[in-house]
Amino acid sequence: MPMPIPGFTGGLLDRADALRHDPVALSAKLDWRARLLKLDGLVPDVEDGRLAWTSIADLPEEAEVILLGLDAQDRAHVAALLPASGEGTTPAMRSPALMTMLATLEPGEAATYAAARSVLDWHARHRFCARCGSTTHLFRAGWGRQCDACYTEHFPRVDPVVIMIAEHDGRALLGRGKGWPDGRYSALAGFLEPGESVEEAVAREIHEEAGVRVSNVRYVASQPWPFPSSLMIACTGVAEDDAITLDTNELEDAMWVPRDLVRAVLAGEPGPFVAPPPYAIAHTLLSVWAAEGR
């Protein structure tokens, strides 16, 4: 099976890194042709499956510009960073309505939104210098902040997360987190920590959450996940045995699901669980795994 395209990938804008380092050239691009992403807070305006844009003339006077990139016609596409307010200082939530809207976006459109959302949200939560506590200012066309006092440069975070299924005897280990939608089961996941590889993080997380030891960890796919700014790294691992010891602080339940039942659920047939949504890489991961061993 060809690899399904993971959600939030396939963005069409050229990030134009060189422009971030060249204020004069950037300024020349911010002319009447430049397009401003329409946002209400961090919620996009979606029309017929596409993000809505307006003229950069609509940029609020007090806003700063974040360069998202150039389109095929060399037009700058930007997002507006508004001054600090009470909002946005904690990670912005994703509402069911937002997720439904994102599911309607064409491939690539969600990717553009993901980049904009992650960077805007990072600015909102990183107005101060972690090294000395002073104020900072935006630089590099929005792809960093610099301290006003000690000049330390800070860059947007991307937090790597491993997301994986253990497999044993043709079955996949799926888990269920607290507060998830009724019946939803998915791949286990957790943040990768300093000092470990992807493969080590996968083995540690499966053992911590389900008490299962895995080896032969295999990379499958990746996606950005803009809630707030993760890199999801999807893998499989082969379990030594199928005894589950649940960490009830992390999971409400976990179970082994045979491949044919995973296939059936992904095909929309009834089964023992509700699948993760198509834009989540857990869906990609399960699809790839389910198609194997045919």
List of residues contacting a copy of itself (CB under 8 A): 6, 8-9, 11, 15, 17-18, 21, 89-90, 111-112, 114-119, 122, 125-135, 143, 150, 152, 154-160, 191-200, 204, 208, 219, 221-224, 226, 229, 231, 233, 247, 249
Cα→Cα distances 228→91, 110, 183, 286, Å? 6, 14, 25, 23
Least spacing, CB of residue 118 vs a copy of itself, in Å: 4
**Residues 78 and 39 sit within 8 Å (Cβ to Cβ):** no
What does the block give as tokens for 126? 């990183």
**Residues 186 and 258 sit within 8 Å (Cβ to Cβ):** no
How far is C-alpha 28 from the geometric centre of its chain's CA atoms? 31
**What interhelical angle do 259-266 and 281-291 show, nearest 10?**
130
Residue closer to a copy of itself by CB (options 224, 237) is 224
- 258 SS3 class: strand
For residue 221, give the nearest of 171, 162, 172, 263 by alpha carbon. 162
Least spacing, CB of residue 213 vs a copy of itself, in Å: 12
Least spacing, CB of residue 173 vs a copy of itself, in Å: 19
Residue closer to a copy of itself by CB (options 116, 265) is 116
Residue closer to a copy of itself by CB (options 53, 271) is 53
Least spacing, CB of residue 38 vs a copy of itself, in Å: 18
Would strands 214-225 and 188-191 be described as parallel, antiparallel, or unpaired? unpaired
Residue closer to a copy of itself by CB (options 13, 265) is 13
What gap in Å lies between CA 163 and CA 288, rounded to an integer? 14
CB count within 10 Å of CB 205 equals 24
Residue closer to a copy of itself by CB (options 122, 289) is 122
Dihedral (CA of 123, 22, 69, 279) sign: negative
Residue closer to a copy of itself by CB (options 33, 131) is 131
What gap in Å lies between CA 68 and CA 15, rounded to an integer? 6
Least spacing, CB of residue 263 vs a copy of itself, in Å: 25
Residue closer to a copy of itself by CB (options 6, 276) is 6
Least spacing, CB of residue 61 vs a copy of itself, in Å: 25
Least spacing, CB of residue 128 vs a copy of itself, in Å: 4
